[in-house]
Structure 1
Amino acid sequence: MSPAGRAANRPGARSTRGRPVRGRQRRPDRRWLLLLGMAAVTLVVLVLYFTPLLGVRSVRVAGIDAVPEGVVLDTAGIEPGAPMLQVDAAEVRTRLGAVPEIADTEVDLEWPSTVLLRVTERTPVAFLPADGPGDSGVRLIDSAGVPFRTVPRPPPGLTLLRLGEDRAEGVRTAMLALTSLPPELRAQVTEVRAERPQDLHLGLTGGRSVHWGESAGSARKAAILPPLLTREGEVYDVTSPDLPTVA
């Protein structure tokens, strides 16, 4: 008997005769799995972008006081049922920026179906007489120097701007000086006179006045003015910040 036969007949030896031989299991191609996953994601995005499945159901407005809510909603122009992914936040902000009383807007998507408009209204810090044909009352101006609303009379605590012919430049330079002051000192300024944009005068409470000069160097002038006002006097000259005077 051959050695192979003797080995097969030994007690305890296992025979492989008639038993299937296991081959390597074939694994799914990962490229196909990746393609299927990408196709599924694309399909979901297309459904959400082009169908009202996740459409706008409500638009909420926050932060308004003077601007009517209807004006904000109409100007924003967000159509009910429009897919949430098609809401263009930059375009909505641009449209609302055309409303004079609105300084800025944030557009938040609150999934699954609400758009929140966070509106920042302009805050008046000064005013000047309205100058349009047939206009009466005063124009309110915010800290950026933007005239944004005409009202019959100014709210208390605002600064009157008395300007010359170049009103636009006068507003710009006057607001540079006014907004450079610390809040506690700004509250004492009752008027800013600028017959010429580069020759500003500030009227303060108590009959005092400040000869400010040009708007250049406003930060330095605003820094030296508070200690200068502790001295007795009526006219405080900071046109040259290196040589301020009191008279």
Structure 2
Amino acid sequence: MASSVSDITGPLDLRARSRRRRIRIVTVVAVLVAVLLAVGVYVVRWSGLMAADQVVVDGARLVTADQVRDAARVPIGAPLATIDLGAVGSRVAALEPVHRVSVHRAWPDTVRIRITERRPVYQLRDQQGYHWIDASGTAFHTTTASRRGTPWALTATRSTRLLRDVATVAASLDPALLKQLDHLEAGGPDSITLVLSKGRTVMWGSADESDVKSQVATAMVATKATHYDVSSPQNPTAR
């Protein structure tokens, strides 16, 4: 019986030592991982090893890359991980020509800003020149000369609603009608007029049903007349 007890105790001690060794190994590995993580967090968030060193700008045409950088106010030298990308994007979005902006980190030392600029639907003409207006009715750029291929307009006011309504009309124009367009005139939201070549006019009325009005007007200007009225597209007139 004593011999049997001795035979069982040996393997039990061996398994216990093996188990303790595995526990020590796991503990050491866990400590090393924790240390490495702590070092990594320190390097990323507080050390200068991954600090913002440059700002790269993509998509700038109407604004310069330097104007975008000035607006962004990225804190050069600050740890890249701590920079508030949302705040950077909000500051850049305040630039008038900017329609959309995205900001992200490009490790180890770069902030990359990508912008999409507004697109002109028409140009508002006044004594200062030609102001580019986008689909939302926002004026975002001014030139002294008219932009080729973009219609221009005269408006009684610069209210956002009127500028947006004129944009809706301009965007709806059929290419065949657009070729005959000299300019648009808007005395108010319900009195938008197309001034065509050869002294012809199209009373458009409001921006409502502009797609339908464009189809009707395109068909009507093929008939000989000087004044067309599509303000009620179901009952158009010409004289």
Same fold per TM (> 0.5)? Answer: yes
2:94 pairs with 1:104: no
Hey, what's the Cα distance between the residues in 2 that align with 1:184 and 1:84? Answer: 53
Quick check: 1:127 aligned with 2:123? yes
User: Could you say which residue in structure 2 is the equivalent of 1:11?
Assistant: none
Compute the displacement of 1:213 (Å): 0.8
Counterpart residue type for residue 77 of structure 2? G
Determine the structure 1 residue equivalent to 2:137: 145
Is the CA contact (8 Å cut-off) linking 1:161 and 1:171 kept in structure 2?
no
1:48–1:189 distance in 2 versus 1, CA, 3 Å? farther
In the alignment of these two chains, the number of paired residues is 233
Deviations 1:191-226 (A, max 9, x none): 221112211111234544321111222233234443
Corresponding position of 2:10: 20
Alignment partner of 1:240 is 2:236: no
Q: CA deviation at 1:36?
A: 7.3
User: Which residue in the other structure is 2:112 paired with?
Assistant: 116
The percent of aligned pairs where both chains have the same amino acid is 28
Of 167, 171, 177, which residue of structure 2 is paired with 1:175? Answer: 167
Q: 2:218 aligns with which of 195, 203, 226?
A: 226
Separation in structure 1 between the aligned mates of residue 222 and residue 42 of structure 2, nearest angstrom: 69
Displacement of 1:80:
2.0
- Aligned-pair CA distance for 1:64: 1.8
For the aligned residues, what is the CA RMSD? 3.6
Q: Partner amino acid for 1:98? A: A
Residues 36 and 229 (structure 1), Cα distance of their counterparts in 2 relative to 1, 3 Å cut: farther
Tell me if 1:56 matches 2:52: yes
Describe the shift of the 1:150–1:182 C-alpha distance in structure 2 as closer, same or farther (beyond 3 A). Answer: same
Question: Partner of 2:82 in structure 1?
Answer: 86
* d(CA) in 2 for partners of 1:187, 1:96: 37
Partner of 1:44: 40
The Cα shift of 1:48 comes to 0.9
Query: Greater helix percent: which structure?
Result: 2
Is this contact kept in 1: 2:121–2:170, CA < 8 A?
no
- Structure 2 distance, partners of 1:202, 1:87, is 50
246 and 48 in structure 1: CA distance in 2 versus 1, 3 angstrom threshold: same
Gaps of 5+ in 1: 9-13
Larger radius of gyration: 1
For 1:65, the equivalent position in structure 2 comes to: 61
* TM-score, with structure 1 as normaliser: 0.75
TM-score under structure 2 length normalisation: 0.77
CA contact (8 A) 1:126 1:159 kept: yes
CA contact (8 A) 1:140 1:154 kept: no
Q: CA deviation at 1:19?
A: 7.9
The residue aligned with 1:216 is: 208
- What stretches of structure 2 of length at least 5 have no aligned partner? none
Q: 1:58 to 1:245 in 2, by over 3 A?
A: same
1:199 is aligned to 191
Q: How far did residue 17 of structure 1 move?
A: 5.7
Q: Distance in 1 between matches of 2:45 and 2:108?
A: 13
